[in-house]
Amino acid sequence: MTETKASASKTLYRPTLLYAGGDWIRDGEILVDEAGQIERIGPRTSPVPGQASGAEAGSMLVTIVDWPGKALLPGFVNAHSHAFQRLIRGRSESRGGRAAKTCDFWSWRPTMYYAASRLDPQQVFDVARMAFLEMVLSGTTTVGEFHYLHNAPDGRPYDDPNRLARQVIAAAQSVGIRINLLRTAYLRSGFELPADPGQRRFIETCPEFLRSMQALLETPASAQVHLGVAPHSLRAVPLRDLHHIADWARTHQLPLHMHVSEQVAENAACVREYGVTPVTLLAREGILTGQASLSHQPGGFTAVHAVHVTQREIRLLAEAGATVCACPTTERNLGDGVVQANAMLSAGLRIALGSDSQAQIDPLEDARELEYHLRLLQQRRAILDPSGDSSGVSVSGPSSAARLFQAATANGARSLALPCGELQPGRLADFFTVDLEDSSIAGGSEADLLPLLVFALNRSAVRDVVVQGRTVLRQGRHAAHDEIVQRYRQLHTAVWSGAAGPETRP
């Protein structure tokens, strides 16, 4: 990298290739202003307009960053994360010695509850930093953190009920990733279910939740910290409270995220309680369409998972202008099922992506699994290519790759109501670079680079990450990498030492 430093505030990035507006610009450049917004993007005008390299552009000094051999792309937006679940990775991949026991989402939960029960506020910060570091290493510049760890281990609220939320926000700021803290309402165990002690750190009343949301909203604004509202699920939030929460979100123009139809049993419980499945209920109650003031602009309603939905429910979501947030690496890890991405895209429904349980943190792996899971089911290829396969030649061309890349970037930004995820003037300067000589993509040209990236990029090819004009990853290294990993190693040992093994209960 050639970096010509100046004392001023604008920065001009000059990569070999730049992905903007669905196309590659060779020898392009992107000018970022002092507020971290994209001011100009396009073919290179060398030297900087009206000046010699590294001097002044008009009256403003400019720092020039040359990135030969690199491609620059909009940063990924991870629209659904539970940062603390990074702790469970590798701890729930067996039946726990009980061969006859069904191993599924429901048997995975006690392991997650165990991890949740063990963390003090410092450890919540440490594990979140580890998850966010991995995200940055993968080119992710924004995380939507669906945060439901609220109470002390004994179930009582902290003096500040947002104490753990603030720890997670501080972790994001420490790593340098943009965060939308989707504070989560978790009000009960489930329909006709007794209280589960494993959930005592999650549970609040609806008034407590709304008071805590209000307090977060009144916290002085920070440029890279945003808020959203997240009723956990119809299982965890009764309908009457859901209406209060959705109304509150609408009043404050905040995005509304909710787990929807991840599990067949979740649908069955909804039918027992309300007579219909979740999406049908949400549409009937005006929760989807009630977000209409937001539905045709960024934000609105996001249904996380939406695995077990009917064709009619897909149409209902599309008509409401909602987004589905698929989490394929988690859904395959938990055995949830396959998101019907083909039917959703055909209906005009936007799909965003999330790392969810952190079984793996790699946004392009999530993107390609949207396509690959359907291939396995249908024994066909290029399912999400909108041009179809009428020629008889199976080509996974740029169009399907572009759709998947859009899911990993712009659609997530829209779901979180943020002006990022695309490289355009006026948008936030959130982007990353990849090494064009990395073994996983070397040899590609503009004609095939996007499908190469989407279907084959190794995370290690990510070189630089910039969030709102601030470099948080430089040549593949984060300044706090070793410290974050070291603290996480101590935390991991502290939590799991003495644990009997997978699916250990508190």
Q: Which residue is nearest to Zn ion (CB)?
A: 356
The length of the chain is 506
User: Which of 64, 416 has the CB closer to Zn ion?
Assistant: 416
Q: C-beta of 326: minimal distance to Zn ion in Å?
A: 11
Grouping H, G, I as helix, E, B as strand and the rest as coil, residue 348 is coil
Burial class (CB in 10 A: 0-12, 13-18, 19+), 262: buried
Would you state the torsion angle of the CA atoms of residues 157, 116, 330, 505, taken in this order, to the nearest 10 degrees?
-130
User: Which of 136, 236 has the CB closer to Zn ion?
Assistant: 236
Q: Is 438 in the active site? A: no
Give the residue among 478, 495, 415 at the shortest CA–CA distance from 135. 478
Total of residues contacting Zn ion (CB under 5 A):
1
Q: C-beta of 108: minimal distance to Zn ion in Å?
A: 12
- The answer to whether the beta carbons of residues 106 and 381 sit under 8 Å apart is no
Q: C-beta of 82: minimal distance to Zn ion in Å?
A: 6
Catalytic hit among 356, 430, 435, 464 = 356
User: Which of 30, 149 has the CB closer to Zn ion?
Assistant: 149
Q: How many CB atoms lie within 10 A of CB 123?
A: 21
- Cα gap 501→496, rounded to integer Å: 8
Would you state the torsion angle of the CA atoms of residues 336, 341, 342, 344, taken in this order, to the nearest 10 degrees?
120
Residue type, 204: E
Catalytic hit among 259, 305, 308, 373 = 305
Q: Is 356 in the active site? A: yes
User: Which of 126, 356 has the CB closer to Zn ion?
Assistant: 356
Q: Is 356 in the site for Zn ion (CB under 5 A)?
A: yes
As given in the structure block, the two tokens for residue 484 are 């974050």
Q: C-beta of 342: minimal distance to Zn ion in Å?
A: 23
State how beta strands 28-32 and 38-43 pair: antiparallel
Q: C-beta of 146: minimal distance to Zn ion in Å?
A: 5
Q: C-beta of 351: minimal distance to Zn ion in Å?
A: 16
| Part in contact with Zn ion (CB under 5 A); list of ranges 12-20, 24-32, 248-256, 352-360 | 352-360
Q: Is 331 in the site for Zn ion (CB under 5 A)?
A: no
- The answer to whether the beta carbons of residues 245 and 224 sit under 8 Å apart is no
User: Which of 356, 435 has the CB closer to Zn ion?
Assistant: 356
| Part in contact with Zn ion (CB under 5 A); list of ranges 351-359, 365-373, 381-389, 390-398 | 351-359
Q: Determine which helix (DSSP H) or strand (DSSP E) holds 32, and give its type and residue range.
A: strand 28-32
- Cα gap 118→152, rounded to integer Å: 10
User: Which of 151, 302 has the CB closer to Zn ion?
Assistant: 302
Binding mask 119-158 for Zn ion (x = CB under 5 A): ----------------------------------------
**Which of the residues are catalytic?**
305, 356
Q: Which residues make up the interface to Zn ion (CB under 5 A)? A: 356
